[in-house]
Amino acid sequence: MKTLREFVKPFRIDDGAGFRLKDFDPADTNALKSKEHAAEILEDGIARLAELQDKLYAQDQWAVLVILQGMDGAGKDSTVKHVMSGVNPMGCSAIGFKVPSEEELQHDYLWRTTRFLPARGSIGIFNRSYYEEVLVVRVHPEALEREKLPKELVTDKIWQERYEDINAHELYLSHNGIVILKFFLNLSQKEQKKRFLKRLDEPEKNWKFQLSDVQERQYWDDYMSAYEKMVRNTSTGHAPWHVVPADHKWFAHVVVAETIIDALEKLDLDYPKLDAERRAELKKARAFLEHEK
């Protein structure tokens, strides 16, 4: 039996050169054959994640930034809900990025996400991110027009410039102790249709449904091309993309959980060691409590 680490490795892209989306099957479940087995692994993973997060928080040095991207219905929300279900909310933040507001459009595009970067000791989740700037904005030129950029800066090099700027930004963050893990939840068009129909059928899911989500399906190929170029151009050793098969939510959750665990384990986290002075202080505190009337 492969270890979980080996098992999630094929989805990690450290160097995007030559990446082709068609080599990645959205319905892949690797060696994992059943939902039940996945549930067991996830349960165990959630407990390990909680322990690691406790140390991350106590050590107060590293931060972890988890970026989730994917088409509507790919399971970004449910991944956050399931994978992070055991972590202490004190050491965790999650934020979703929508169509930019008027205020956000008054600034450079990294402004709105930078404000929500995780603090030391914590895990921050971006549900969508600055990557929308090379995805939806690339697919819909009118979104770029709304960004009020000086005309001479909008050239056919803009996407390449954005990849370079994003890579530089992520390198800077990594030099500052922020570990970046990026997940593209790779959903098939067929499975998206099934999930949309479910959103229409089930009253508790109706709120999630927007007509525009369905209309976006006509741009599917443009989106896939934008995703492919994004992975090719922004997969680096310090901020790899993980192309997660997302047609089976239970499998996607295991891959995301194990990837985060693996990254935390590599940090060699531990509780801060006490120096002699601190130990003497604790001794005094104990004596104080024991002599209390």
Partner from Mg ion, ligand AMP, none contacting 100, C-beta within 5 to 8 A by type: ligand AMP
User: Contact between 128 and ligand AMP (CB under 6 A)?
Assistant: yes
Q: Taking CB under 6 A as the criterion, which residues in 153-212 touch ligand AMP? A: none
User: Contact between 69 and ligand AMP (CB under 6 A)?
Assistant: no
Q: Which of 28, 132, 228, 258 binds ligand AMP (CB under 6 A)?
A: 132
Partner from Mg ion, ligand AMP, none contacting 97, C-beta within 5 to 8 A by type: ligand AMP
Using CA atoms in the order 189, 191, 196, 198, what is the torsion angle rounded to 10 degrees?
170
Chain position whose Cβ is nearest to Mg ion: 72
Count interface residues toward ligand AMP (CB under 6 A): 12
Q: Which of 72, 191, 247, 258 binds ligand AMP (CB under 6 A)?
A: 72
User: Binding mask 12-31 vs ligand AMP (x if CB under 6 A, - otherwise)?
Assistant: --------------------
Sign of dihedral through CA atoms 48, 52, 54, 55? positive
Binding-site ranges for Mg ion (CB under 5 A): 72
Roughly what angle, to the nearest 10 degrees, separates helices 76-83 and 35-59? 70
Nearer to ligand AMP, 99 or 154 (CB): 99
Partner from Mg ion, ligand AMP, none contacting 137, C-beta within 5 to 8 A by type: ligand AMP
Partner from Mg ion, ligand AMP, none contacting 191, C-beta within 5 to 8 A by type: none
Partner from Mg ion, ligand AMP, none contacting 177, C-beta within 5 to 8 A by type: none
Nearer to Mg ion, 72 or 170 (CB): 72
Nearest approach, Cβ of residue 213 and Mg ion (Å): 6
HEC profile for the chain? CCCHHHHHHHHEECCCCCCCHHHCCCCCCCCCCCHHHHHHHHHHHHHHHHHHHHHHHHHCCCEEEEEEEECCCCCHHHHHHHHCCCCCHHHEEEEECCCCCHHHHCCCCCHHHHCCCCCCCCEEEEECCHHHHHCHHHHCHHHHHCCCCCHHHCCCCHHHHHHHHHHHHHHHHHHCCEEEEEEEEECCHHHHHHHHHHHHHCHHHHHHCCHHHHHHHHHHHHHHHHHHHHHHHHCCCCCCEEEEECCCHHHHHHHHHHHHHHHHHHCCCCCCCCCHHHHHHHHHHHHHHHCCC
Q: Which of 28, 133, 191, 247 binds ligand AMP (CB under 6 A)?
A: 133
Using the contact rule CB under 6 A, the part of the chain among 128-136, 179-187, 218-226, 248-256 near ligand AMP is: 128-136
Using the contact rule CB under 6 A, the part of the chain among 38-46, 98-106, 224-232, 281-289 near ligand AMP is: 98-106
User: Contact between 97 and ligand AMP (CB under 6 A)?
Assistant: yes
CB atoms within 10 A of CB 53: 24
* Site for ligand AMP, rule CB under 6 A: 72, 96-100, 128, 132-133, 136-137, 143
